[in-house]
Amino acid sequence: MKKSTFLLVLVAALGYFVDAYDLILFVVLRHSSLTELGVVGSNNTNVGLWLFNVQMIGLLCGGIFFGVLGDKKGRLSVLFGSIILYSLATIINGFVQDIYTYGILRFLAGIGLAGELGAGITIVAETMPKEKRGYGTMIMASVGAFGAVVAALVGDAFYWRTAYFIGGGMGLLLLLLRVGTFESKLYKHAEEQNITRGDFLSLFTNKDRFKRYIACMFIGFPIFFIVSILMQLAPEVAKALGIEGKVTAGQAVMYVYIGLTCGDLISGYVSQRLKNRRKTIFIFQAICLCMCLIYLNLWGATNTIIFIMCVLMGAASGYWIVLITMSAEQFGTNLRATVATTIPNFARGGAVPILLAHQYLTKALNGNLILSATIIGIVCFGAAFIANASLKETFSKDLDYVE
């Protein structure tokens, strides 16, 4: 790998690291920060879920904004702009004194967080040789996912305001590394052509493009079923299962993302060895479904067993990076950043309807949280299996084309 290409992969990887840190940090700090702000008891969970949803809505808005910006103005503009926004929002978050300001800042942070992953994947995929780009995105994802592990450790070890300062500070330091990065040649080639770039609405005006776009999004929903319900609500799930020992959201985050870090490496390597993205995703989806069903049936187990299952669920969720790589490969250069940025954020945003459906179904089932989670999980996985089956294979596809 050339030195310039290695630097680009490193910067994209560290950008995703800080992105994952900030995205997950609120989940870890939810209880302690809201308690200090006077939100206690059941209100702590309800307000925490509201703030989480606000952050996810910010991701949806930011995904569109930065995705279109990446195709119109270049991938590097997103890598710089997004990190400035979420770093500043995160630092200011450390000074918050009320819930509404907290919500505004999580919304702004969500907008900023939306840009890193998609732009990073796009520029790495367009820069590396087509037979080896899976290795580049694999490295990026495994380093990035570890950011969530660090968020869990920092969130448990430091005062919650300090943890936010650390996240924002890391983001601003990362800007120094980005001085030596360069724009992808494929983007420059598309820029020279007289074609429309970053037309988000064009994804919905063509049947084939719409089908590919929605399918890629649905494949990611099971991962955020795990993040939004099995991970974020781990204390509530553990209580419902009668688990022995303490289980916190921070612990669940750490163990799931330890698994996810390993899973990103394994799935990326498997897809390169099999030379097949779709088959790799099918394998990991099937394993992930089994792990989730086992997790939701650990009646009376110890918290050690729960944490082991969190690692295994995280590892099985490692097809995430293969999915984003495949999504980028599904579309032409004039829409690639838009797709690669909006799909992961729309998939992340899927956590909102998933959580709302879970809350509604739990009430309808007289408080049976476990049965509700099982039903919603099966629906998410079913949609993901069907979506993956509908797509064409993209391994080693030449990306120098436009829609």
For the stretch 237-257, pLDDT in tens is 999 999 999 998 778 888 988
What average pLDDT does range 72-99 have in this prediction?
A: 90
The pLDDT tens digits for 12-60 are 888 888 888 888 888 888 888 999 999 887 788 788 888 988 988 898 8
Residue partners of 126: CB distance under 8 A and separation at least 6: 75, 184, 185, 186, 187, 333, 336, 399
Rounding to the nearest 10 degrees, give the CA dihedral for residues 138, 284, 118, 147: -60
Tokens matching residue 34: 């809201």
Number of helical (H) and strand (E) elements in the chain, helices listed first: 19, 0
pLDDT, position 185: 79
- Dist CA 18 CA 83 (whole Å): 9
Instruction: Give the CATH number of domain 3-177+200-389.
Output: 1.20.1250.20
The pLDDT tens digits for 202-230 are 999 999 999 999 999 999 999 989 988 89
152 three-state secondary structure = helix
Contact present, 184 and 334 (Cβ < 8 Å): no
- pLDDT(2) > 80: no
**What confidence tier does 7 reach under pLDDT thresholds 50, 70, 90?**
confident
pLDDT, position 1: 64
Span between the terminal Cα atoms of the chain, in Å: 29
Q: What is the DSSP string of 75-135?
A: HHHHHHHHHHHHHHHHHHHTT--SHHHHHHHHHHHHHHHTSHHHHHHHHHHHHS-TTTHHH
- pLDDT(173) > 90: no
**What confidence tier does 179 reach under pLDDT thresholds 50, 70, 90?**
low
233 three-state secondary structure = coil
157 three-state secondary structure = helix
